[in-house]
Amino acid sequence: MTTTVAPPGTASTTPARAPRRARRWGDHLFVLPAVLFVAATVLYPLIFNIDLSFRDVGVAQIVTGGAEWVGWENYTDQLGRDEFWHALVISLLYTGLAVAVAFALGMALAVYFNQRFPGRNLMRSLLLLAWILPTVVSANVWRWMLDGSYGLINTLLEAVGLVDGDMFWLARPVPALFAVVIATAWSFTPFIMILLLAGLQGIPDTLYEAAKIDGAGAWRRFTSVTMPLLKPVNLTALLLCFISTFKTFDTVFLMTRGGPGEATMILPIYAYNEAFEFFRFDTGAVATTLMLIVPLGLSVFYFRSLRREELS
């Protein structure tokens, strides 16, 4: 893994000679555009959004501005709404399930493709296609494959006797949630596989040889050698995947739009609907601001795990 938070030590790798004040100022011009850009396109909108969340924004005030300041009213309002809590629960359920499936599959693939055999590098790369495919495309393909009457999935499931007759996945609450979880996990699995492969390659072969001599079978070697040594990498991969999945919007939006009913109404879609369907930009701002707590909270653990990985 090459993701890095600059460790404190890297400052010493810059040229050591004492810079003049003018030079040091000049060096900052290299970073200035990026800082200004992020300030203008990320930090300013975020602060603007928080400001919106404290105002009573009607349709007219979207363009003209000048919406009235109402304090915490929007927040108490939002926190009292069942729909908001429902969306939060669905979001956590969807994310948790998708991460669990993607992690289990990603781990299985990583262990398999960590073995030495001809063509493994090509196959690993090919699997990544699922990850880089635009979500709009994969969501559409999954919708077609899950079609009740003519979908490929139903045909396959009927062949092994798991489904009898037409099964309309996206029209029923629990199957719909299951369907978006599978579609999401399909995209994320190769990503997890690559992250875990990097970790697996760091485990010396001699440890497996030793375990083999001690009479450990394949499963025992996995639980007693691979898993403990992979712990820091696992943690990083899980956190990264959880954060990415939690903020995913496209897959669910394109497959179910949050339906049927509210069965797959995840927070990002809920917030989007508030603003862009019902033109309630103030409550949309509240929902997005509250939603930010989950990824930002988890990112603290993510950075810690990154640092630990670097130190080890």
* C-beta closer to other proteins: residue 216 or 301: 301
- Please identify, among the stretches 3-11, 78-86, 173-181, 211-219, the one whose residues bind other proteins according to the rule CB under 8 A: 3-11
- Please identify, among the stretches 1-9, 72-80, 168-176, 217-225, the one whose residues bind other proteins according to the rule CB under 8 A: 1-9
CA distance 215 to 62: 70
CA distance 246 to 266: 9
**Residue 255 in tokens:** 């497959």
In this structure, the number of other CB atoms found within 10 A of the CB of residue 7 comes to 11
Least Cβ distance, residue 246 to other proteins (angstroms)? 8
* Interacting residues with other proteins between 163 and 202 (CB under 8 A): 186, 189-191, 194-195, 198
**Residue 208 in tokens:** 């497996």
**Residue 258 in tokens:** 């949050």
Helix, strand and coil in the chain, % to nearest 5: 75, 0, 25
**Residue 137 in tokens:** 């495309």
* C-beta closer to other proteins: residue 263 or 291: 291
* C-beta closer to other proteins: residue 3 or 223: 3
CB < 8 Å & 24+ apart, contacts of 21-25: none
Least Cβ distance, residue 50 to other proteins (angstroms)? 9
CA distance 34 to 28: 11
* C-beta closer to other proteins: residue 30 or 69: 30
Q: What is the DSSP string of 240-281?
A: HHHHHHHT--HHHHHHTTT-STTTT--HHHHHHIIIIIT--H
Give SS3 for 41: helix
* Interacting residues with other proteins between 46 and 85 (CB under 8 A): 46, 48-49, 52, 62-63, 65
Phi first, then psi, for residue 97 (nearest 5°) are -65, -45
Least Cβ distance, residue 220 to other proteins (angstroms)? 20
- Please identify, among the stretches 17-25, 92-100, 171-179, 226-234, the one whose residues bind other proteins according to the rule CB under 8 A: 17-25
Burial of 203 (0-12, 13-18, 19+ CB in 10 A): middle
**Residue 112 in tokens:** 């398999």
Query: Does the footprint of other proteins cover residue 33 (CB under 8 A)?
Result: yes
* Interacting residues with other proteins between 273 and 312 (CB under 8 A): 275-276, 281, 284-285, 288-289, 291-292, 295-296, 298-299, 302-303
Answer for which of 3, 76, 201, 223 binds other proteins (CB under 8 A) is 3
The pattern of x and - marking residues 198 through 237 that bind other proteins according to CB under 8 A reads x---------------------------------------
Least Cβ distance, residue 101 to other proteins (angstroms)? 13
How many chain residues touch other proteins (CB under 8 A)? 106
